[in-house]
Chain A
Amino acid sequence: DADVTQTPRNRITKTGKRIMLECSQTKGHDRMYWYRQDPGLGLRLIYYSFDVKDINKGEISDGYSVSRQAQAKFSLSLESAIPNQTALYFCATSDATGPAGYTFGSGTRLTVV
């Protein structure tokens, strides 16, 4: 099994619908992150979390919300999806020991029509 698992892998949804992207990890890492990837823009941080009770906004949090249900689970919600939220979404984890870099999930490709 992958260290960081994202579900679903692909999703098509309609404008205005609520959708949840899920992420679970077996790394035992305390920090979890949600990024979105757009062509020509690289990856941009949406939200990040140190633990269940410590959640922080990233640079592009508008239109998104998150929930850290447990140390191993971090979900991203689009309350009312819009077409410009069409993107590739990545979950990542890191631990507290230093700048080891992240462990990334395989991504969720979301299309809002």
Chain B
Amino acid sequence: AQSVTQLGSHVSVSEGALVLLRCNYSSSVPPYLFWYVQYPNQGLQLLLKYTSAATLVKGINGFEAEFKKSETSFHLTKPSAHMSDAAEYFCAVSIKNRAQKLVFGQGTRLTINP
């Protein structure tokens, strides 16, 4: 079975600072990995995904993530935080099977300080 652990339920950074949200996964087969963002009172929006091609994945809004198999990690980064990045972020894992079930981490709430 797959699982995801997001380190840090709350992360706070200053505007213009580096954003780093941590995600570690567990999977017995090659995983597919995703980052989703949830703005207040909205659904989940896909930021980026890893599907076994390039290990460095670029997403929307300047975010990127790197798949590191040796570390079982898929951390999300953005070089310079913007106030509009304040949201909750979810890391998720699935595998290549018929069900395509997504298993989510606990979520990390990102706060941006002016």
Contacts and interface: CB of A to CB of B under 8 A. Distances in A.
Q: Do A and B come from one complex?
A: yes
Contacts of B99: 31, 48, 50, 56
Contacts of B105: 42
Q: What DSSP secondary structure best describes chain A's contact surface?
A: strand
Chain B interface size, as a band, is: 20 to 34
A58 B9 CA distance: 25
Contact of B107 (A42, A48, A58, A106): A42
Interface residues of A, number: 26
A101 B49 contact: yes
A45 B106 contact: no
Contacts of B100: 31, 94, 99
B44 interface: yes
A102 B107 CA distance: 17
Contacts of A41: 106
A102 to B, nearest CB: 6
A90 B44 contact: yes
A44 B46 contact: no
A45 B101 contact: yes
A112 to B, nearest CB: 20
Nearest to B49: A101
B43 A42 contact: no
Interface of A: 4, 31, 33, 35, 40-45, 48, 50, 56, 58, 90, 92, 94, 98-102, 104-107
